[in-house]
Amino acid sequence: MTQSQIDPTPKPATTGATLLEVDDLHVEFRQRSGVVNAVNGVSYTLAEGETLAILGESGSGKSVSAQAIMGILDVPPAVVRGSIRFEGRDMLTMSEEDQRQIRGPGISMIFQDALSSLNPVYSVGWQIGEMFRVHQGASRKEAKAKAIELMDRVRIPAAAKRVNDYPHQFSGGMRQRVMIAMAIALDPRILIADEPTTALDVTVQAQVMDLLKDLQRETGMGLILITHDLGVVNEVADSVAVMYAGRIVERGTVDDVFTDAGHPYTEGLMNSVPQVEAKGGRLQPIVGQPPNLAAIPSGCPFHPRCARRRLGAEAAPGRDCATDLPPLRLVAPGREAACHYSEEVLGV
């Protein structure tokens, strides 16, 4: 049993070199019933040692944008436009073989559901070792030794004994550790974690998030954390991008965004979630449902659910929420929001 008093974490300054630049990324799925616009112009950068949280609900495009970066979307039906530059090289225009060289040592990814992401008929040691056999041409024996080493590193107890076990013999938290071991096997510069703890219990979630932070401190990798959990974002990330209907609607440091939201959607999310610190009064939900991506509302995609919308005569010229799409713009130092009336939301 350890009890750790985590000191008021000095968030690491993100002065490292830029690793990833995503610029105006669009992803659409062409289906018989129409075009589903999953990602509509997303831009962000990630520096060494930085943790960027991408916060959004289901259907906000947060996972699809990550899958586009990893190059694991099926094209077609998916159509990917824009640019994704990893250390200056555009991944969307390079050959499949070059992309393969980046996946693993450059960028790697862990998924939400570890059980269905692992192959049930191979031992975990074999699956972790595969990284070394395929990318580095290691022998089976070397690969197994390295797999044990990695399992130790992600704190799977009795690694040498468990290396030949199969995924079903592990608990949920341990399986997620196996996934993390595979993802960090080749010391990637960037790790994308897609809802890494959503399927886990809170005590296990805390263990896994601690592990990811420790690994980041050791290797200085950039971490993209995709989640819908406001608490996880607050405790783990440096900066946050809030997504809605395939767009980033707000971006800034976690401290800024969580202290004073600059977009009505972010504000609504914060008000609708109960907190463990206090019982709180009645919850203030966001009315309505998230939009259908095949028919995104005109103007600001959030306007049908927005409590602060201004339509027609109420709106300032060129800033009618129902017809004019608000761009993501600087609204305060280091803060960007895609709302015509963000200053009011911020209360500046």
Partner 1 sequence: MSEPSAPTGATAASAPVTSPAGASARGPLGETLLEIRGLQKHFPLTQGILFKRTVGHVRAVDGVNMTLRRGETVGLVGESGCGKSTVSKLLVALEKPTGGSILYKGKDVAKMSGRALKQYRREVQIIFQDPYSSLNPRMTVGDIVAEGWSVHADIAPRKDRLKRTQELLDRVGLNPDYVNRYPHQFSGGQRQRIGIARALALQPEIIVCDEPVSALDVSVQAQVVNLLEDLQDDFGLSYLFIAHDLSVVRHISDRVAVMYLGSIVEEGTDEQVYTTPSHPYTQALLSSVPLHEPHLRGQKDRILLQGDVPSPADPPSGCRFRTRCWKAQDICATEAPELVDRGQGHPSACHFAEARAVVPVDVE
Determine if 312 is a binding residue for partner 1 (CB under 8 A).
no
* Closest-CA residue to 217 (of 209, 205, 226, 207): 209
State which residue, 174 or 224, has the beta carbon closest to partner 1.
Answer: 174
Tell me the C-alpha to C-alpha distance, in Å, between residue 316 and each of 103, 194, 310, 323.
Answer: 47, 39, 8, 12
Determine if 230 is a binding residue for partner 1 (CB under 8 A).
yes
Binding region for partner 1 (CB under 8 A) out of 41-49, 67-75, 278-286, 310-318: 278-286
Shortest distance in whole angstroms from residue 40 CB to partner 1: 19
Shortest distance in whole angstroms from residue 302 CB to partner 1: 11
Residues 279-308 close enough to bind partner 1 by CB under 8 A: 279-280, 282-290, 292, 304-305
How far apart, in whole angstroms, are the C-alpha atoms of residue 90 and residue 84? 5
Determine if 235 is a binding residue for partner 1 (CB under 8 A).
yes
Query: Could you write out the three-class secondary structure of 192-256?
Result: EEECCCCCCCHHHHHHHHHHHHHHHHHHCCEEEEEECCHHHHHHHCCEEEEEECCEEEEEEEHHH
Shortest distance in whole angstroms from residue 247 CB to partner 1: 16
Determine if 332 is a binding residue for partner 1 (CB under 8 A).
no
Shortest distance in whole angstroms from residue 98 CB to partner 1: 38
Q: What are the structure tokens assigned to 173, written together?
A: 């938290």
Contact pick of 68, 109, 154, 269 for partner 1 (by CB under 8 A)? 269
Residues 164-223 close enough to bind partner 1 by CB under 8 A: 171-174, 201-207, 210
Q: What pairs with residue 192 in β-bridges?
A: 109, 224
Residues 6+ apart with CB under 8 A from 145: none
In this structure, which amino acid lies at residue 234? N
Residues 6+ apart with CB under 8 A from 137: none
State which residue, 97 or 277, has the beta carbon closest to partner 1.
Answer: 277
The footprint of partner 1 (CB under 8 A) covers 1-9, 57-58, 157, 171-174, 201-207, 210, 228-232, 234-236, 254-255, 258-259, 268-270, 272-280, 282-290, 292, 304-305
